[in-house]
Amino acid sequence: MFTREVRYTRCWIGITPTYVVDQDNVCFVSYDMFFPFVDQSLMLYASTIVRNTVLAPVLGRPLNPEAAAEGEKFLSASLSKIESVWLKGNGRFLLGGNQPSIADLSLVCDIMQLELLGETERNRLLGPYKEVQQWIENTRNATNPRFDEVHKILMKAKEKLQNPRLKGANNEGGESDMKRTLHSRI
């Protein structure tokens, strides 16, 4: 069911298989059917927004506000669905769980791409979704220190993207320092 990398990540942050497979088979079936759609949606729409706004100039591509707006529309629908369906219950995690699952971690990591937009834009996109924001924080806290360790590169890129001096700084070959940094990390 999971790739080798996901199994490794699950073990690395301390999520054991009992948290991944809910004891209630009905919940597991619902999760199993819906999770790939939500995960792919969040990853696609969040990356569309980031790629067509803050990353485009760094990568030497034109801004595409229409694509970013389309991504925002669908991201909003996905976040709304997570909040109205998947975060219902007494627990702090998906499907009312008391422990994070690999689904929690995967979806939160997809949303973390929005950090690259900066605080104002990120807050604008996530602001209406208070339960999603709390879930992100719950997942982060439950999986730390590994969560922050894994996201160090993202936070360094965010700092560079927010620094106006570095945004347009070119080296002697004409390639921006930020572009060179991003490519070296990918």
List, as one string, the DSSP characters of 118-136: -HHHHHHHHTT-HHHHHHH
Domain ranges, ordered by start, for the chain: 25-163+171-185
DSSP SS3 for 92: coil
Select from 1.20.1050.10, 1.20.140.10, 3.30.365.10, 3.40.50.300 the CATH code of 25-163+171-185.
1.20.1050.10
Residue pLDDT, tens place only, 53-89: 999 998 899 999 999 999 999 999 999 988 998 898 8
Q: How sure is the predictor about 171, in pLDDT bands with cuts at 50, 70 and 90?
A: very low
Cα–Cα dist 168/156, whole Å: 17
pLDDT of residue 89: 83
pLDDT of residue 96: 86
pTM reported for the whole predicted model: 0.72
Residues facing residue 170 across a β-bridge: 176
DSSP for 75-90, please give it.
HHHHHHHIIIIIT-SS
More confident position, 167 or 25: 167
22 near 29, Cβ under 8 Å?
no
Checking if the pLDDT of 164 tops 90, the result is no
Cα–Cα dist 180/160, whole Å: 12
Checking if the pLDDT of 176 tops 90, the result is no
Cα–Cα dist 183/186, whole Å: 5
Cα–Cα dist 75/67, whole Å: 12
